[in-house]
Structure formats: structure tokens, C-alpha cells
Chain A
Amino acid sequence: MKHQQYKTWILLDTELDLEQHRELQVHLKQCSQCQSLYQATHQIAHLFKTSPVPEPSPGFSTRWMTRIEKVENRKSRLILGITLSVISIATLLLLSSVGLQIRAGMAYFPQLMLEMITLVAEWIIFLNQLRDIVSPLIRVGMKFISPVWLYTLGFSLSVITGAWIISLSKSRTLQRELHS
């Protein structure tokens, strides 16, 4: 058998049968390289097996309990933090979206205000002018027209309006009847 095979047996710590073991022992007597390797692996195994077993200092499980509680608290805080962050970001996005709309509206605000003021001013001017024209006429007319005539005119206008409303409702009723 080749030297490499014995080396593999030694390094793989192969379980050998009696015949193989005897064969290896014969080879070890002839080959110093394999002998040295064999001794080294056995000495290392012995060193490992006889070394002291490291042990944790007392209270390991108590320290674990403290640690897991810290970890869980940290996890809870992290979840809370993430939730708050998500809510904050959502609020921020909402506010910035609304803010952008307000901003867009604000861009036209002076123009809108100017138009409204102009419109109101024009209405004021129109009403003033109308008052200026109508009020002297009323004042003059009131002097020549007797109150009886005014009451008669008011009554006539009321009657005409009433008759118009009645005729309008009657014509609508007729139309409905025709359609039905």
C-alpha cells in the first residue's frame, strides 16, 4: 500500500480492523514521517481531551434573563418607534400635500382678492348712482301723487301678480293632464 493511504488513515482517524491496524504499525516502524504524524495527532487528541473544560461564571441563566428582558424591551421600543415614525411620515406627507395645495391657492390669492374688491366697488358705485338718479324723482313724484293713487297702484300690482301666479299654476296642471 502507498504511503499516502497510511497518511489518510492517520489524518482521518479511521477506525481500522485488526489487519489494517497491524499493517499501519508495520508501516510506522519503517516510515519516520508517518510515525511523526501519528504521534502528533495522538498528542493533540490527548491535549484536547485532558484540557480543562471552560465554564461560565455563576449566574449565567440569571444574566440571560436580564439580557432577554432588555432585548425584548428594546424590541418593543423599536416597534413603537417604527410605528410612530410611520405615523409621523404619513402626517408629514399629508401636511406637505395640503400645504402644496394651499401654496398653489396662495399663488392666485392676491388676484382673487383684487377681483373681489373691484366687483364690490363697482356694485357700490352702481347703487350710489342709481340712488342719485331715483331718489330726486321719488322725492318730486311723491309731492304730486296723492297717497290714494299710490295705494291703488300697490293693490293693482298685487292683484296682477296674484292672477299671474294662479294662471301659471293652472297652465302647468293642464300640461300635466295632457301628458298623462
Chain B
Amino acid sequence: MCNTEQQWIAEAKTGDKDAFAKLVEKYQKPVYSICYRMLGTPTGAEDAAQEAFIRAYQALDRYDISRSFATWVLSIASNYSIDQLRKKKVTILSMDNEKHAWLAPPDPGPSPEKAALEKEKLGQIQSLLTDLNEVDRAAVILQYWHDYSYEEIADTLDLSSSAVKSRLFRARRLMAEKWQKMQLSSVPPVNSTAKRIAHETSTI
């Protein structure tokens, strides 16, 4: 953790919201990203990410400075998202353009083909994640998108390393089964994406 960040944390601990806003600015992307992967909608992700930062700000007195701030705030975000999923049973798979507005970057916009492909990929991802339980999903997200080790995932989700291994093992098995089914599926867009990815990976 850099000195500037430590200074922001120290200032935020005294009630300086502007200092904490700088931390929000720095960590908004990973926090939003994990919330989005967990909840599946931009609205839900925005709300969860905002709430995670509010909880972090309110619990700043309990923050252990020896721990990584990123891990701590991601832990709050993932646990909040898990709670939200348990409470609301959010439907992850929704592919309307309005909800996935982030798929269209402002400047320059992707070509229609690229946008369609990304949209399709997103559908595939959310479809794979939907079948996992909330904690398994969080573990998968932390491993694949945040490159967390088993220990870091265990620390973030308050689990033991062996529990994380077990959960990831189960999650990968479920996702692989689903993926195989999707490849065999006769629905054209899913099949074509799966085949395209199969082709991409075979050429790597």
C-alpha cells in the first residue's frame, strides 16, 4: 500500500469524506466489477458498489492497516453482494441493452459485430455463473477476474483455504458440465459463441 493511500485512509478515519472519495475513485472499478459479476445488472452493481463503499467508510475504524485496503473493500463488496443475492434472489441472466449500457463504451464505440460478440460473451458468462451458489460464484469471480490466490479468496470470503479449494472444484465442475451442454445445444447464438471460443482457445 502506498503512502498516499495510507494518508487518505488516515484522513478518512478522522471523518474526511473527500479523502475517502479518493479511495473510492481508485477502487471503484474492481468493486463495481465484482458487484456486477455477482449481481448481473448495472443498476444492482452500482447500488451494491456504492453501498460497499459506504459500509467501508462507516467501518473504517475497524480496518486493520496491515491488511490490503483492496482486499478489505472487495471483501465488503462480495459479502454485500452475497447477502443481496440471498435476499432478493436476483436474476442474473438479462441481456437487454438498457441494463447493459456499459457494453457500449462512449468513445469510440465498438463495431456492431464486436458489441454483439461481447454481448454474447456476457450472456455466456452470466449463464455459467447463474448455476453457482452465491459463495462459489464469489470465489470464481475473485479467482478469474481478480487473480486472487486460494489464501486471498479465503481471507476475503472468511473461509478456510481447503473450503475455497473445495468450492472452486465444485464450481468448475458445474460450469464445465454447463459449458458442454451449451456446446451441444441447438440454440444458434450460444452454439456459435461456444464454437468460436473453442476455436480461439485451440489456436492459442
Contacts and interface: CB of A to CB of B under 8 A. Distances in A.
Given A8-B169, A57-B101, A67-B50, 16 more contacts: A11-B169, A43-B197, A44-B128, A44-B176, A47-B124, A47-B128, A53-B33, A53-B145, A54-B32, A54-B45, A56-B102, A60-B25, A61-B25, A61-B28, A64-B24, A68-B17
Contacts of B53: 64, 68
A154 interface: no
B27 to A, nearest CB: 10
B74 interface: no
A55 B31 CA distance: 9
B180 A68 contact: no
The residue among A12, A48, A67 with the most chain B CB atoms within 10 A of its own CB is A48
Contacts, number: 115
Interface string B99-127: 00111000000000000001001101100
- Interface on chain B toward A: helix, strand, loop, or mixed SS? helix
A64 B180 contact: no
B2 interface: no
A54 B18 CA distance: 25
Interface residues of B, number: 48
Interface of A: 8, 11-13, 36-37, 39-57, 60-61, 63-65, 67-69, 71
Interface string B159-194: 000000100110011011001100100000000001
A65 B54 CA distance: 9
Interface of B: 17-18, 20-22, 24-25, 28-29, 32-33, 36-37, 42, 45-46, 49-50, 53-54, 57, 101-103, 118, 121-122, 124-125, 128, 144-145, 165, 168-169, 172-173, 175-176, 179-180, 183, 194, 197-198, 200-201, 204
B108 to A, nearest CB: 15
B107 to A, nearest CB: 12
A11 B176 contact: yes
A60 B46 CA distance: 8
